[in-house]
Amino acid sequence: MSNENDNGLAALEQQAEFLGLKGPLLPLLPPKSLTRKLQRERLPRRSREAPFGARHPSWTVDRFIVPAAFPRSVRGSTTDPASSPSEKASCATSASTSLSSSSKAPPGRIDAEQACKELLDVQLEGLRNPTNPIDTKELASQEQLYTVVNRYRSSTTHGAVLVRSKEPILTLVLGHANGFHKETFEPMLSDLLEQFDSKTRPIAEIWSIDTFNQGDSALLNEEVLGKACEPKWSNGLLLHSKTMLNNRLALPTVNWADHGRDILNFIISYLPDPFSPDPITDELPYIVAVPDGMHELDARPLFPGLSVPTNRVFRDRLIVSIGHSLSGAGMTYAASAQPSLFSSLVLLDPAMPPPSWERQVMFKSKGAFIRKDHWPSKEAAMASLMKKPFYQTFASRSMQAYVEYGMTTIPGSEEARLKMRPEDEALVFGDLCTTASRRAGGRLAMLPTILPVRFICADLDCSVLTEEALQDTLRLIPHATIVRVRKAFHTLVQEKPKETAAEVAKHLQAFYGDSPGYDLLSTDSVQIQA
């Protein structure tokens, strides 16, 4: 990308600094009636035995479908599946048309520079047009999105917990990093179940959520997240697989706040009481009876919850939320809007800078746009990815989960592609001037001091945040504790599942173990300068 175009993109992105969403989160409305057929046949089977291997044979996983938060925070967050290419192309804004392109992509391949320009267009347009929840025309234009969640539980542990006098059960709710999926935690969870073995309050259920445009959620929503071309191959080489219409990308708008709202929507409106009967289908029913005003999120004065973590109960559960990177920000959005839902919060190297830490992000989106996403087979994908230094740091179990559950096969062939399209990953990275992630960072100060918060970060100078930014973040939440996973980079869940699990286990032991005690938590010394 030329310096001239670099400067042009930077000038465009800078406009976002004054457009970032502020104030309370958009309230949650009831889900919208479905206007399209969900392609359930693209999802993996509903249940799977022994997801954590032979070490934990009694555990099973069940997959469920849940409507995502409605409406979305900004206009243009979904596209109409019935609209024609010409209609979509005509809707594109023209803010980037004055930027010249010094280089063109080869025929049939995506032009990453032009893609970044169009991403800037749609993201800026979304920030200029936040959703008004009483605008009936806007609500009618938005498509209902869906998220896919996994529930893990042990037949022996869960049954024993339910027999005991209806004590609230320890429930983990997990969210993954951008570019990954809900099953990416399985190696870490297998190790966690080895390391946290409380007889008093064992882990009874684990719920892991796919972000709306990644993992299995992406397969259900792809139709309304930009219309994709079919992949074309020539002599074994992929020519294109992007959402191109009339040589323009058909991109929706993405705002990180909606990930937090999706988490809250799941917990408030769909997470069942553990003592209720199991759902008959793979769709969790909408729960109408919720505390008054809860759907308004933080638009009303907040109830901080009770002071003892084991008394912070919601729907017969002690909910420990665990968010990695993007989902660290998502969990912070959620917990700052409804803190009483959560018993404690664990943030795994969260991508959540302080409000003062403005950075431009187009270089990340450019890399995502041009990443390879199709291979002749899953075996070929594994061989190809293992040649890249980024994936060579992953534990072998993590790589197996990434390829097995993060990819789907093309019907009628062995060809494999990522469930999450590169342009969807690029849109999440396209948090212009880090406005949405910094908004999440600023909301740390809203968390009540009675809500335990644990940062588990990458090793020194290996985090997604600089040490200076991490210091500024911790100033916002002085009651939080922090520990680092040695020799781990930002993808610590995938690189060091056992070591990351050990730190999560210490957090659980401190608050929910057989001999709980806050002094059990070690913490790294981080010099906070006044």
pLDDT at 61 over 60: yes
Query: Beta strand pairing status for 453-457 and 481-484?
Result: parallel
pLDDT tens per residue, range 390-445: 999 999 999 999 999 999 998 888 999 999 999 999 999 989 889 999 999 999 99
pLDDT at 296 over 80: yes
Q: Would you state the pLDDT for residue 202?
A: 93
Helix (H) or strand (E) run with residue 427 in it = helix 422-429
Q: Would you state the pLDDT for residue 206?
A: 98
Query: Beta strand pairing status for 146-154 and 59-67?
Result: antiparallel
Please compute the mean of the pLDDT values over residues 261-278 and round it to a whole number.
96
Q: From the centroid of its chain, how far is CA 464?
A: 16
Whole domain around residue 355: which residue ranges?
12-96+108-518
Q: Would you state the pLDDT for residue 83?
A: 55
Number of compact structural domains in the chain? 1
User: Does residue 497 contact residue 191 with C-beta atoms inside 8 Å?
Assistant: yes
Residue percentage of the chain with pLDDT more than 90:
67
Tokens of 325: 């990177």
Instruction: Give the separation between CA 410 and CA 312, rounded to whole angstroms.
Output: 45
pLDDT tens per residue, range 189-209: 999 999 998 888 999 999 999
Torsions phi, psi of 434, nearest 5? 50, 35
Q: What are the respective helix, strand and coil percentages of the chain, to the nearest 5?
A: 40, 15, 45
Identify the band that residue 35 occupies on the pLDDT scale cut at 50, 70 and 90.
confident
For residue 525, tell me if it sits in a domain. Answer: no
Residue from 353, 172, 368, 181 nearest 256 by CA: 353
Residue from 279, 239, 2, 33 nearest 140 by CA: 33
Q: Would you state the pLDDT for residue 200?
A: 84
Please compute the mean of the pLDDT values over residues 304-333 and round it to a whole number.
97
C-beta atoms surrounding 7 within 10 Å = 11
Tokens of 180: 């990954």
pLDDT at 371 over 90: no
Instruction: Give the separation between CA 462 and CA 508, rounded to whole angstroms.
Output: 25
Q: Would you state the pLDDT for residue 101?
A: 36
With 0.75 as the threshold, say if the pTM is over it: yes
Please compute the mean of the pLDDT values over residues 359-370 and round it to a whole number.
78
pLDDT at 150 over 80: yes
Give me the chain's average pLDDT, please.
87
Minimum mean pLDDT range among 36-40, 48-52, 90-94: 90-94
For residue 240, tell me if it sits in a domain. Answer: yes
Q: Who contacts 9 (Cβ-Cβ below 8 Å, separation ≥6)?
A: 1, 99, 116, 117, 120, 362
Instruction: Give the separation between CA 266 and CA 68, rounded to whole angstroms.
Output: 8
For residue 529, tell me if it sits in a domain. Answer: no
CATH code for position 154: 3.40.50.1820
CB neighbour burial string for 316-342, b if at least 16 within 10 angstroms, e if fewer: ebbbbbbbbbbbbbbbbbbbbbbbbbb
pLDDT tens per residue, range 434-480: 999 999 999 999 999 999 999 999 999 999 988 888 889 889 999 99
For residue 7, tell me if it sits in a domain. Answer: no
Sign of the torsion angle spanned by Cα atoms 29, 24, 465, 421: positive
pLDDT tens per residue, range 270-295: 999 998 889 999 999 999 999 999 99
pLDDT at 518 over 70: no
For residue 509, tell me if it sits in a domain. Answer: yes
For residue 523, tell me if it sits in a domain. Answer: no
pLDDT tens per residue, range 157-178: 766 666 565 789 999 999 999 9
For residue 289, tell me if it sits in a domain. Answer: yes
Instruction: Give the separation between CA 400 and CA 454, rounded to whole angstroms.
Output: 28
Torsions phi, psi of 67, nearest 5? -60, 140
Instruction: Give the separation between CA 253 and CA 197, rounded to whole angstroms.
Output: 43
For residue 478, tell me if it sits in a domain. Answer: yes
pLDDT at 529 over 70: no
Sequence letter at residue 135 = D
Q: Would you state the pLDDT for residue 92?
A: 34
